């Protein structure tokens, strides 16, 4: 396959920046879709999307903050219209495993008339090192609801590799891939592995959804962020589909998915989980 022009929406994010690196290594021309890029891509400014899409062959779509939030469905519908006008050949959508609302957005892409791959991922390992769970790990106390939920944590490196293949190989057209790690862990299990690898005492405390929401409000977090987190902890972690382990990573990459313990060992070496200084 020759060189292609590929727009990576969210190209500075957890999956996007990894995909950008891989596509560039394969010799493709990559345009990063972000507010700071030129041309810029901002989900809140659809009037500018046509500039970001112009001249592109394929698009990787990751919606911020999540496909479940109000307005996401309309945004994906609008992006599909812009993509069709620009004669885009392929759409690869990052979706969420166990998220019913996200599946409505998937349907828009599936019925777009454009070649597509849906990448439906479980919760990211990197939530503990690049997202909202890093701060409590550093504080040494992780208090979360849904303490018994079994989560097949998946690594963003695996997600990026699958998405890159979906963007560059026609064999993946029309596929829905469910990406999970090789086993499930509860939050307590995950925190215990991080504590051991980083040689720290980190306490896990199970709390209710209500207590978690109150804590976020006391911390002054935005109400729309609180809504999303509460949704993810109730609707998604409460969905038994989330715990199901898939072999799709092995099917696409020809190897087992990265295990949570592998992620923890490599991440601990970076020093990101060192305890906060008291000074």
Determine the pLDDT at residue 277.
63
Residues 6+ apart with CB under 8 A from 32: 8, 11, 12, 16, 20
pLDDT of the chain along its 279 residues, tens only? 589 999 999 999 999 999 999 999 999 999 999 999 999 999 999 999 999 999 999 999 999 999 999 999 999 999 999 999 999 999 999 999 999 889 999 999 999 999 999 999 999 999 999 999 999 999 999 999 999 999 999 999 999 999 999 999 999 999 999 999 999 999 999 999 999 999 999 999 999 999 999 999 999 999 998 999 999 999 999 889 899 999 999 999 999 999 999 999 999 999 999 987 654
Determine the pLDDT at residue 45.
97
Q: Which neighbouring-strand residues pair with 61? A: 93
Rounded distance between C-alpha atoms, residue 27 and residue 34, angstroms: 21
Binning the chain into helix, strand and coil, the percentages to the nearest 5 are: 45, 15, 40
Q: Are strands 141-144 and 203-206 parallel, antiparallel or unpaired?
A: parallel
From 59, 41, 67, select the one nearest 117 (Cα to Cα): 59
Cβ–Cβ under 8 Å, residues 108 and 171: no
How many distinct helices (H) and strands (E) make up the chain? Answer: 11, 8
Determine the pLDDT at residue 1.
59
In this structure, what is the dihedral angle of CA atoms 83, 88, 89, 94, given to the nearest 10 degrees? -50
Cβ–Cβ under 8 Å, residues 202 and 142: yes
Determine the pLDDT at residue 276.
74
Please state which CATH class domain 5-123+155-180+244-258 belongs to. Answer: alpha beta
- Whole-prediction pTM: 0.96
Where do the H-state alpha helices sit in 130-247? Answer: 134-139, 156-168, 187-197, 209-218, 223-231
From 93, 146, 163, 94, select the one nearest 122 (Cα to Cα): 94
């Amino acid at each position: 396959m020759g060189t292609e022009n590929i727009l990576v929406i969210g190209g500075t994010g957890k999956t996007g920046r990894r995909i950008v690196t891989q596509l560039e290594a394969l010799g493709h021309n990559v345009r990063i879709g972000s507010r700071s890029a030129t041309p810029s891509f901002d989900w809140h400014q659809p009037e500018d999307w046509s500039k970001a899409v112009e001249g592109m062959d394929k698009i990787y779509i990751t919606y911020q903050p999540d496909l479940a939030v109000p307005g996401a469905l309309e945004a994906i519908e609008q992006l599909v219209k812009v993509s069709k006008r620009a004669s885009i050949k392929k759409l690869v959508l990052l979706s969420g495993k166990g998220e019913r609302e996200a599946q409505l957005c998937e349907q828009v892409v599936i019925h777009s008339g454009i070649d597509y791959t849906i990448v439906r991922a479980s919760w990211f390992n990197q939530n503990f090192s690049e997202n909202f769970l890093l701060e409590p790990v550093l504080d040494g106390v992780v208090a979360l609801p849904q303490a018994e939920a079994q989560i097949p944590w998946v690594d963003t490196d695996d997600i990026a590799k699958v998405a890159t293949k979906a963007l560059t190989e026609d064999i993946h057209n029309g596929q829905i891939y469910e990406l999970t790690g090789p086993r499930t862990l509860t939050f307590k299990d995950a925190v215990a592995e991080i504590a051991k690898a980083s040689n720290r005492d980190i306490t896990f405390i199970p709390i209710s959804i209500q207590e978690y929401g109150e804590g976020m409000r006391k911390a002054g977090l935005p109400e729309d962020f609180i809504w999303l987190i509460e949704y993810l902890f109730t609707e998604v972690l409460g969905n038994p589909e989330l715990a199901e382990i898939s072999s799709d990573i092995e099917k696409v990459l020809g190897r087992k998915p990265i295990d949570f313990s592998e992620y923890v060992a490599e991440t601990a070496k970076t020093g990101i989980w060192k305890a906060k200084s008291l000074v």
